[in-house]
Amino acid sequence: MNTTIIGYPRIGILRELKFASEKYFCSEITAADLEKTAKEIRTYNLALQQKSGLSLIPSNDFSFYDGVLDTAFLLNAVPARYTSLGLSVLDTYFAAARGYQGEKGDVKALAMKKWYNTNYHYMVPEIDDDTDIRLAGTKPFDLFTEALENGVKTKPVITGAYTFLKLARYKGTKTASDFIAQTAAAYSAILDRFNALGAEWVQFDEPSLVTDMTADDIKLFTALYEKILAGKGSVKVIAQTYFGDVRDCYKELCALPFDGIGLDFIEGKKSLELVKTNDFPADKVLFAGIVNGKNIWRNNYASTLLILDELKKHTSDIVLSTSCSLLHVPCTLANETKLPESIRKHFAYAEEKLTELAEISSIAGAEHPLETTEYRLNTALHSEPRSGRNDAVREKVAKLTEKDFIRLPEFAERERIQKERFALPLFPTTTIGSFPQTQEVKSARKAFRSGELNEADYESFLREKIADCVKLQEEIGLDVLVHGEFERNDMVEYFGECLDGYIFTEKAWVQSYGTRCVKPPVVWGDISRAKPMTVKWSVYAQSLTDKPMKGMLTGPVTILNWSFPREDITLRESALQIALAIREEVLDLEANGISIIQVDEAALREKLPLRRSDWREDYLDWAIPAFRCVHSGVRPETQIHTHMCYSEFADIIRDIDDMDADVITFEASRSDLTILDVLRENNFRTEVGPGVYDIHSPRVPSKEEIKAAVNKMLSRIPAEKLWVNPDCGLKTRGNAETIPSLTNLVNAAREVRNENS
C-alpha cells in the first residue's frame, strides 16, 4: 500500500526556525540567513521522509508563520494596511502576522484564532468588499520545484477554497458566496500551474468539512469545487479532511470529481460508518488517516488492520495516511535522551510515525500479516501491562456517586454565609494569581533546577518574593490577595510535577502559533497527588496578612487539555482522576486555614467538540462534573473562585454557571464586554469579575478608563455580584506597568463604590 502524510512539523527538530525567526525580528540576521535556515529544515525533512519510504511526500507544508496566512498571501487577500507599508514581501507577511511598528507605520496584526480543536492558532484572513482574490503568489510552486530539484515529486498542500472562505472574516457587506467565482478561478489557476510543473497530486485541506454544515455551506462547497475541478487537467486533486468526520457532506464530497478523498479514522467517529453505509466511489483513491497526528502514542497495529479490513470491502484503492498534519506532534524521539526505554518504546513522534506508516504498509501487504515481526512486536507492546496503574485511584473514581458532584448548601445560601464571613466592600478587588515573573525569578528557578542553588536557598528566595508581593498588594489596597505564583513555571507543568502518573519530555516542542511552541506533558499512568502542591506557599502568604489570601490551583480539565492524554482509558476517567487529586489539595488548603480557593479552568473551552451535537456527550457531560468534584467537599463558608481565559463562552454560559463556583473571573476587555449581555440574559448566578483591562499589552489603563468599564459592567450585572480585577495573570508583565495599573484599578473601584453607596 502507498503511504503519505498530510504535513510535517516545520519548526525544525531543535526549533531552529523559531530561533532564526526571532533573530530576524530583532535584525540580528538577514532575510537571506532566515531563508537559509528555512531551506535547511525543508531539505532535512524531505530527506527524512524519503528515507522512511513514504510514497507521497507533502510540500508547501512549510511556513514562516502559518499556512492559512500563506494562503491569504497566495490569493491576494491581504489588507491594504499591510501592503501599503512598502515593505518587502517577507516583511509585509510578518507585519500581517505580528503587527508592525516602525518608521513606515504602525499597524496591528491580523486576528489569531484557535485552529479547530487544537492548541495551534491560525491567522484570520480579512476579506473586504473590494478584495480582489486571484493567484498572486508563488510559494507552493517554488517549494514544489525546490523538492523536484532534490529529486522528489511532491504533493503540494494548500488550504482548500471552502475552508479558506469559511475561516475568513468579512469586513464589508459581501459574504463568502460573493467570492465564489474569483476564488474558484484562483484555485483553477493554481491547478494550471501545477499541471505545467508536472505535479501528479495536489492536496486541498478542507477541515471545515468536519464541522457542522448548513445547507448553504454545502452549496458553497459544491459551487466552489464544481468550478475548480471543471477544467483541472491531468493533475489529481485530493479533498483532505481531518479533526473529525464529514457526516454532513459525505455524499456531495463523493459526487464531486475529486481524485482522492482524505478521511480521518482516528477522530472521525463516523468515518468508518459513512464508508460502510454509503460505500466509497470506485473512481477515487481513499487517503485513510489511520495514524494519529495529534497524540504521541505508538499506533496499535491490530486495531488499524481491523479498520483497513473494513475499508477494503468498499474500495481497493487506499493510501495510508495520518489523521491530520504531524504539525501537532513533536519532531523526533531522538532528542529525548532522558526517557527510560520502558516509556520511550510507547511513544511515536512525527519521525517515528513515518516508520509506523511504512510498517503498517508492509504488514498490510504481507501474505500473513499477523505473522510478521512488526505486527508481533507491536501487539506485544500493546498487551504489556502499563506501569503506573493505581488501583486505589481507579476504585475511587468508580465509587464516585451523584453526591460527590454536588456542593451543599446551594449557591444562594453559600453566598449569604460568605458575604457575612468576608465582609468585603462592594466591588471587591483582586488579581488572577501570578505577579510578574521577572528575570530574577526565572534565573533563580533555573539555578535551582540545575543544582546551582540549593533547595533551602531557593525556598527562602521564594518566601522573600511572596512577602514583597503581599506587601505590595496591601500598599495598593487590593481586597483579596494572592501569593504571586513565583514557584511556578507554568500552570500545568508545576502541578504535573507534583502528581504521580505524569511524564515530562525534554524536547517535545509543538508549534502553538508563529514562533511560540509549547511542550505538553504526558499523562502516562493513573493520576494521584504525590504530595501537597501549594499548601506551604499559600499558608505562608496568609500568615503575612489579615486580608483573605486566595489558594491558587489549576483545574482538572485545563490540566488534561494542555497535556498529551492517554488513549487506553477515556478522557472522562483521566479528568476524574486529576479532579480527585486536586480535590485533595483543595481540602488540604481549607484545613490549613485558606478561606478562598481559586481553581483555574483557563482552557475549559479548548477541547469543546467541533460539532454542537457532540458537545454534551463527548465533553461537557464529564468536564463540568470533573470541576464540580474538585470543590464539592468544601465547607459553605469557603469561597471557590475559578478563572477562564477568553470570554468566548456565550454558547456554553449555562454550563459555566453550572460549574457552581462562587466567583468567576474572565477575560472581557478585548471582547468589548459583549459577554455582559449574555450574562444578564441568562441570569448568571455566579459572582463575576470580567477583566477590566487587557494584561496582554504593556499599556497602563487610566483610572477613568477602568471606571468606565466598571460602570458599563454595573449596567448589566447586579452590584453585589461584581468583582473588579485584571483580565488574566500578570506573569508576562513587568512591575513597571503592573503597579500603576493595579493602583488605578483599586482607585477606580473605590470611586465607583463611593458613587454607589
Which region among 24-32, 412-420, 429-437, 562-570 touches ligand GLN (by CB under 6 A)? 429-437
Which region among 13-21, 180-188, 537-545, 725-733 touches ligand GLN (by CB under 6 A)? 725-733
In the complex, least distance from residue 493 CB atom to ligand GLN, rounded to whole angstroms = 13
In the complex, least distance from residue 602 CB atom to Zn ion, rounded to whole angstroms = 5
Pairing label, strands 318-322, 121-123: unpaired
d(CA 279, CA 268): 16
d(CA 133, CA 401): 57
Using a CB cutoff of 8 Å and minimum separation of 24, what contacts does 539-544 make? 539/592, 539/593, 539/594, 540/463, 540/466, 540/483, 541/466, 541/469, 541/470, 541/481, 541/482, 541/483, 541/484, 542/593, 542/594, 544/466, 544/467, 544/470, 544/471
- Using CB atoms within 10 Å of the CB of residue 454, give its burial: 0 to 12 exposed, 13 to 18 middle, 19+ buried: exposed
In the complex, least distance from residue 601 CB atom to ligand GLN, rounded to whole angstroms = 9
Q: Does 476 bind Zn ion (CB under 5 A)?
A: no
d(CA 595, CA 482): 12
Residue 309 corresponds to which cell in the numbers above? 479490513
Out of 291, 320, 552, 745, the only residue in the binding site for ligand GLN (CB under 6 A) is 552
Scan residues 310-329 and list those touching ligand GLN (CB under 6 A): none
Which region among 110-118, 495-503, 564-572, 724-732 touches ligand GLN (by CB under 6 A)? 724-732
Q: Which residue is nearest to ligand GLN (CB)?
A: 729
In the complex, least distance from residue 115 CB atom to Zn ion, rounded to whole angstroms = 20
Q: Does 330 bind ligand GLN (CB under 6 A)?
A: no
In the complex, least distance from residue 667 CB atom to ligand GLN, rounded to whole angstroms = 8
Contact (Cβ atoms closer than 8 angstroms) between residue 129 and residue 173: yes
d(CA 256, CA 229): 8
- Beta carbon nearer to ligand GLN, 311 or 604: 604
- Beta carbon nearer to Zn ion, 213 or 645: 645
Contact (Cβ atoms closer than 8 angstroms) between residue 78 and residue 92: yes
In the complex, least distance from residue 600 CB atom to ligand GLN, rounded to whole angstroms = 5
Pairing label, strands 663-666, 639-644: parallel
- Beta carbon nearer to Zn ion, 254 or 713: 713
Scan residues 644-663 and list those touching Zn ion (CB under 5 A): 645
In the complex, least distance from residue 550 CB atom to ligand GLN, rounded to whole angstroms = 9
247 touches which of Zn ion, ligand GLN, none (CB within 5 to 8 A by kind)? none
d(CA 114, CA 211): 14
- Beta carbon nearer to ligand GLN, 393 or 745: 745
d(CA 370, CA 101): 61
- Beta carbon nearer to ligand GLN, 271 or 434: 434
Q: Does 441 bind ligand GLN (CB under 6 A)?
A: no
Which residues are bridge partners to 170 per DSSP? 127
Out of 608, 675, 728, 749, the only residue in the binding site for ligand GLN (CB under 6 A) is 728
Out of 728, 730, 745, 749, the only residue in the binding site for Zn ion (CB under 5 A) is 728
In the complex, least distance from residue 728 CB atom to ligand GLN, rounded to whole angstroms = 5
Residue 443 corresponds to which cell in the numbers above? 534565573
Which region among 327-335, 653-661, 701-709, 727-735 touches ligand GLN (by CB under 6 A)? 727-735
d(CA 527, CA 500): 5
- Beta carbon nearer to Zn ion, 194 or 666: 666
In the complex, least distance from residue 439 CB atom to ligand GLN, rounded to whole angstroms = 17
Q: Does 348 bind Zn ion (CB under 5 A)?
A: no
d(CA 159, CA 207): 9
Q: Does 589 bind ligand GLN (CB under 6 A)?
A: no
Amino acid of residue 757: S
Out of 434, 473, 741, 744, the only residue in the binding site for ligand GLN (CB under 6 A) is 434
Cell 483545574 belongs to which residue?
555
d(CA 469, CA 434): 10
d(CA 486, CA 469): 10
Phi, psi angle pair for 113, to nearest 5°: -135, 155
Which region among 81-89, 92-100, 521-529, 641-649 touches Zn ion (by CB under 5 A)? 641-649
Residue 526 corresponds to which cell in the numbers above? 493513573
d(CA 439, CA 78): 38
Nearest to 521, CA basis, from 578, 454, 569, 570: 578
Q: Does 729 bind ligand GLN (CB under 6 A)?
A: yes
Q: Does 152 bind Zn ion (CB under 5 A)?
A: no
- Beta carbon nearer to ligand GLN, 152 or 645: 645
In the complex, least distance from residue 695 CB atom to Zn ion, rounded to whole angstroms = 8
- Beta carbon nearer to Zn ion, 220 or 728: 728
Residue 637 corresponds to which cell in the numbers above? 463558608
Q: Does 433 bind ligand GLN (CB under 6 A)?
A: yes
Which region among 1-9, 428-436, 442-450, 470-478 touches ligand GLN (by CB under 6 A)? 428-436
Binding mask 614-643 toward ligand GLN (x if CB under 6 A, else -) reads -----------------------------x
Phi, psi angle pair for 159, to nearest 5°: -55, 130
d(CA 335, CA 713): 50
Residue 607 corresponds to which cell in the numbers above? 477541547
Q: Does 161 bind Zn ion (CB under 5 A)?
A: no
Out of 608, 645, 688, 724, the only residue in the binding site for ligand GLN (CB under 6 A) is 645
Q: Does 481 bind ligand GLN (CB under 6 A)?
A: no
Contact (Cβ atoms closer than 8 angstroms) between residue 330 and residue 520: no
Catalytic residue among 121, 346, 631, 696: 696
- Beta carbon nearer to Zn ion, 311 or 608: 608
Nearest to 68, CA basis, from 131, 124, 18: 124
Out of 245, 600, 606, 657, the only residue in the binding site for ligand GLN (CB under 6 A) is 600
Amino acid of residue 331: C
Which region among 103-111, 530-538, 573-581, 642-650 touches Zn ion (by CB under 5 A)? 642-650
Out of 54, 393, 397, 491, the only residue in the binding site for ligand GLN (CB under 6 A) is 491
Amino acid of residue 257: P
Nearest to 557, CA basis, from 546, 567, 544, 571: 571
Scan residues 596-615 and list those touching Zn ion (CB under 5 A): 602
DSSP-derived secondary structure letter, 618: I
Contact (Cβ atoms closer than 8 angstroms) between residue 407 and residue 660: yes
Active site residue 696: yes
- Beta carbon nearer to Zn ion, 304 or 669: 669
Tally of residues, the chain: 757
Indicate which residues carry an active-site annotation.
696
Instruction: Please report, as ranges, the residues that interact with Zn ion according to CB under 5 A.
Output: 602, 645, 728
Instruction: Please report, as ranges, the residues that interact with ligand GLN according to CB under 6 A.
Output: 432-434, 485, 491, 552, 600, 602, 643, 645, 728-729, 731
